[in-house]
Structure 1
Amino acid sequence: MIENMDYLEIIKRLILAIIVSGIVGFDREYKNRPAGVRTHILVAVGACVIALIQEQIAAETVAYIKENPSLSGSISLNQGRLTAQVISGIGFLGAGTIMVNKTSVKGLTTAASIWAVACLGIAAGEGFYTITLIGFIAVILVLTVLEHIIRVPALKILEIDYTGDETIKHELVAFLKKENIEIRNVNYHICQEDNQRVYKLLLELECAPDIKAIDIIDYLADHPQVIKVILEDS
C-alpha cells in the first residue's frame, strides 16, 4: 500500500501499465484490428489510476482510523469497489470493437484484449508486479503464439454466379476439391437475368487456415463463364 503517494512508485506502476498494454495494443493494430496502441494504453492507464486512487483512499482511511480509534466501528473499507466498477464498465468500450453482420462476428478478441489490459492496469496500479508481468506474458502468448499452434478450420460461404450449363458447376466443384477444400453444403438454382440463364451456386466450405481466400477468388473470377464471386466468413 502506498503511504503518502510515493511519486517514484506511482510512476513505476504507470510505466509498467503503459508498456504491457502498449505491446498488446501493437499486436492488435499490426493485425489491423479495431482498437490499437493508444486505445489499449489509455484503458490500462485509466485502470491503473483507479487502482492508485483506491490504494490512496484505503491508506488515508487506515491513517484516519489510527488517529481516531473511536470511529473504527463506524468506518468501513471496501478496497474492491472501484476496481469492480472498472471491470464491469470496460465492457461497454469492448463492445464498441465488435462488428456483427449476417454471416460473422468480428472483434471479439480485441474486446477481450481491452478487458485484459484493464485487468493488467489494475494489477500494476495495485503494485502486484509479478501478477502484472505473468498476466502480460499469458495475454501475449494467447494473441501471438496460440493462433499458430491451434489451427482451426474456417467455415466460409462461397457464392458463384455463372452462365453456360451444368458442366461448369462440376468444373468449379472439382477445382475446390483439388485445393483440399471440403464442401459441406450445396445450394443450387437457376434464374433469368438480362434474357440469359444464370446459375447461382451457394457453397458452405471448410477451409484449412493456410488456404488463402484471395487465390480461390482469383481463379474463379478469371473463369470466362463466371459473372460474380462472393466469399464470406460463415
Structure 2
Amino acid sequence: MLEILLDEMRGSFTNVPPAVAAARLTAALVLGGLIGIERERRGKPAGLRTHMLISVAAALFIIVSQQLGSLPFGSDGEIRIDPLRLIEAVTAGVAFLAAGIIFTSGGQVRNITTGASMWLSGAVGLACGSGQIPLAFMASVITVAIVGLVGAAERRMSKGDPEED
C-alpha cells in the first residue's frame, strides 16, 4: 500500500506530473492575481484573494479532470470523458459567485465589472490548468488593460464618479 501511495506521489499514475501541475497552478495564481489586484486597488468586494482563488480552483478542476482520465474506470468503450462538462460546471459556479456581488442600489447596477473579471479569472484558471499558459497570460493582460486603462478613461469621461465600476 505504501508503495502505491509513493508511486502516485511521484506521478507514475498521472497524466500531469506534479511539477507540471505545480507550474500550472502557480501560473493560475499569478495571472488571477494580476486581474484581482486592480479590483483590490479600487476597493471592490472581490479583489486579489478572490480572483486568485477562483483562478487556482479552475486550474485545479482541469488538472483533476486530466488525472481522472488516466484512471482505470473500465474498458475503453465505457470511459466517458467530456472536458466541456467540466468547463460548463466551472463557469456556472463562478458565474454564481459573480452574480452574488452584483447588486442594484438607487436604480444603478454595481460591481458588474468585478463580476465579469471574476468570471474571466475562472477562464484564465481553466486555460492554465489545461496547459495553455501563454493564452491565459494574453487574456490576463487584455483584462487588466480593460479594467485598468479603459476603466480610468471611463471615469475621466464621467467626471470621476468614484462609485462607478
TM interval, shorter chain, is: 0.7 to 0.9
1:3 shift after superposition: 6.8
Cα separation, 1, equivalents of 2:44 and 2:106: 19
1:89 shift after superposition: 1.5
Cα separation, 1, equivalents of 2:127 and 2:31: 11
Alignment of 1:25-104 (within 5 A): 25-60=36-71, 64=72, 71-104=75-108
Unaligned runs of 5+ in 1: 154-207, 215-231
Query: Identity of counterpart residues, as a percentage?
Result: 26
The superposition leaves residues 110-162 of structure 1 with CA deviations (integer Å, 9 ceiling, x where unpaired) of 0000000000001001111121111111111111122345x488xxxxxxxxx
1:107 alignment partner, one of 99, 104, 111: 111
The question of whether the paired residues in 2 share the 8 Å contact of 1:58 and 1:79 is answered with no
Cα separation, 2, equivalents of 1:135 and 1:147: 17
Unaligned runs of 5+ in 2: 1-11
For residue 96 of structure 1, give the secondary structure of its aligned residue in structure 2.
helix
Which has the larger strand fraction? Answer: 1
Structure 1 runs, 4 residues or longer, greater than 4 Å off: none
What's the TM-score once normalised by structure 1's chain length? 0.58
Cα separation, 2, equivalents of 1:28 and 1:11: 26
Cα separation, 2, equivalents of 1:80 and 1:133: 21
The superposition leaves residues 202-232 of structure 1 with CA deviations (integer Å, 9 ceiling, x where unpaired) of xxxxxx52x3569xxxxxxxxxxxxxxxxx9
What's the TM-score once normalised by structure 2's chain length? 0.81
Q: CA RMSD, aligned part only?
A: 2.6
1:83 shift after superposition: 2.1
Cα separation, 2, equivalents of 1:213 and 1:139: 22
